[in-house]
């Protein structure tokens, strides 16, 4: 029986040569390190969650309570966060800004990627390279001149300051990703449509876009996450408390003087992470493909 099984596995080539290893060896080389990796990578999330529901008494009393567990879980920190701070407003701001920036960038990126990849105007290759280089320009060297511009344009302390500046890192990324997707669509489809008298715009909206929905979702999810996580522009361009985004609000408004409200801080961090985590869990494959796709090209 064992021999037959071995042959079957060889035929399918599924697990590679894993069957050559004995179980104890696999435990030491694979399962044990994996367990350690998982514990280290997930511990901060566990710690965030447990602190968010811990009463203040237990939080600082390590003698009578085991810090790794919570005896009397409480929703007090979350209630405080949602009803006595501007947190819901920050959430709403972040949703609006991220959605607007994502759609703006996607629209611009679809047109640009189609032009570079399919219209092949003269200089398309150079423009494609320029787009890639634009992706490598980090926000850390742009925020000072951008703050001057934002101020002069009268955008300071408005959501438009962020909606218009986030595309600087979203468009290059989305364009680059969509170029890869458009490349995989056969030319013949477009040629047929051209012969049938379709305009370029019709080809884009009726043939190319429906075929690249997975690419659009990948780019959209990734762009949304990037805008949600953005920090340095939001910190520099927004001043009023009620206009802040979640990452900036939690850091600058919930940390007061010397008394750190650790419970509320952790609840804020947890709830601020939830939307992107939920989105991510629905579209894991798209997310991974966009991340690796951007690197692979």
Partner 1 sequence: MAVPSVAVQRPPSILSRLAESRNALGLGFMLPAAALLLVFLTYPLGLGVWLGFTDARIGRPGIFIGIENYQYLWSDSVFWLSVFNTLLYTISASILKFVLGLWLALILNENLPFKSFFRAIVLLPWVVPTVLSAIAFWWIYDSQFSILSWALQQMGLIDHRINFLGDPTNARASVIAANVWRGIPFVAITLLAGLQTIPQSLYEAATLDGASRWQLFRHVTLPLLTPIIAITMTFSVLFTFTDFQLIYVLTRGGPVNATHLMATLSFQRGISGGQLGEGAAIAVAMIPFLLAAILFSYFGLQRRRWQQGGGD
According to CB under 8 A, which residues from 221 to 240 bind partner 1?
225, 228-229, 231-232, 235-236
Q: Between the CA of residue 172 and those of 63, 67, 137, 204, 279, what are the distances in Å?
A: 53, 45, 10, 20, 22
* DSSP secondary structure letter of residue 240: S
Contacts of partner 1 in 198-217 (CB under 8 A): 199-200
Closest approach, Cβ 107 to partner 1, in A, equals 7
Give the start-end residues of each E strand in 88-193. none
> Residues 147, 185, 209, 253: which binds partner 1 (CB under 8 A)?
147
Chosen residue from 17, 23, 195, 259 binding partner 1 by CB under 8 A? 17
How many Å apart are CA 151 and CA 194, to the nearest integer?
47
| Count of residues in contact with partner 1, rule CB under 8 A | 97
Q: Does residue 219 bind partner 1 (CB under 8 A)?
A: no
Give the Cβ contact number of residue 274 at 10 Å. 11
Q: Which residues ranging from 240 to 279 are in contact with partner 1 (CB under 8 A)?
A: 246-248, 250-251, 262, 265-266, 268-270, 272-273, 276-277
> Measured between alpha carbons, how far is 134 from 245 in angstroms, rounded to an integer?
25
Q: How far is the CB of 240 from partner 1 (least distance, A)?
A: 16
Tokens in use for 260? 């750190």
| Cα–Cα distance, 275 to 287 (Å, whole number) | 14
Q: How far apart are the first and last CA of the chain?
A: 46
Least gap, CB of 75 to partner 1 (angstroms): 19
Candidate residues 119, 189, 192, 213; the one interacting with partner 1 per rule CB under 8 A: 119
Of residues 61-80, those binding partner 1 (CB under 8 A): 62, 67-68
- Using the minimum distance from each CB to partner 1, give the nearer residue, 10 or 75: 10
SS3 state of residue 183: helix
DSSP label of 66? -
Contacting partner 1 (CB under 8 A), which of 53, 91, 162, 164?
Answer: 164
Residue selected from 1, 2, 7, 141 as contacting partner 1 according to rule CB under 8 A = 141
Binding of residue 51 to partner 1 (CB under 8 A): yes
Name which of 75 and 133 has its Cβ closer to partner 1.
Answer: 133
Cα–Cα distance between 185 and 68 in angstroms, integer?
52
Q: Is there binding between residue 127 and partner 1 (CB under 8 A)?
A: yes
How far apart CA 138 and CA 146 sit, in angstroms, is 12
DSSP, collapsed to helix, strand or coil, labels residue 46 as helix
Residue 134 found at the interface with partner 1 (CB under 8 A): yes
Q: Does 99 bind partner 1 (CB under 8 A)?
A: no
């Amino acid at each position: 029986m064992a021999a037959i099984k071995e042959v079957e596995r060889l035929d399918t080539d599924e697990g590679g040569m894993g069957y050559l290893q004995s179980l104890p060896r696999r435990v030491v080389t694979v399962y044990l390190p994996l367990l350690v990796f998982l514990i280290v990578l997930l511990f901060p999330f566990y710690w965030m969650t447990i602190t968010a529901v811990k009463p203040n008494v237990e939080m600082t009393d390590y003698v009578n309570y085991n810090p790794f567990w919570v005896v009397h879980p409480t929703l007090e920190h979350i209630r405080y966060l949602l009803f006595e701070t501007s947190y819901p407003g920050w959430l709403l701001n972040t949703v609006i800004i991220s959605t607007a920036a994502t759609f703006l960038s996607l629209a611009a990126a679809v047109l640009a990627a189609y032009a570079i990849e399919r219209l092949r105007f003269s200089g398309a290759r150079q423009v494609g390279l320029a787009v890639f280089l634009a992706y490598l320009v980090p926000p850390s060297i742009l925020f000072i001149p951008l703050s001057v511009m934002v101020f002069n344009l009268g955008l300071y302390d408005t959501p438009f300051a962020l909606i218009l500046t986030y595309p600087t890192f979203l468009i290059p990324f989305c364009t680059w990703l969509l170029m890869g997707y458009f490349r995989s669509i056969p030319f013949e489809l477009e040629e047929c449509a051209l012969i049938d008298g379709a305009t370029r715009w019709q080809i884009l909206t009726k043939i190319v876009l429906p075929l690249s929905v997975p690419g659009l979702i990948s780019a959209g999810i990734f762009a949304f996450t990037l805008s949600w996580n953005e920090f340095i522009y939001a910190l520099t361009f927004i001043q009023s408390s009620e206009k802040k985004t979640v990452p900036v609000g939690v850091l600058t408004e919930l940390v007061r003087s010397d008394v750190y409200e650790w419970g509320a801080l952790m609840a804020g961090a947890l709830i601020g992470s939830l939307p992107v985590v939920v989105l991510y869990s629905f579209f894991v494959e798209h997310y991974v493909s966009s991340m690796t796709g951007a690197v692979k090209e």
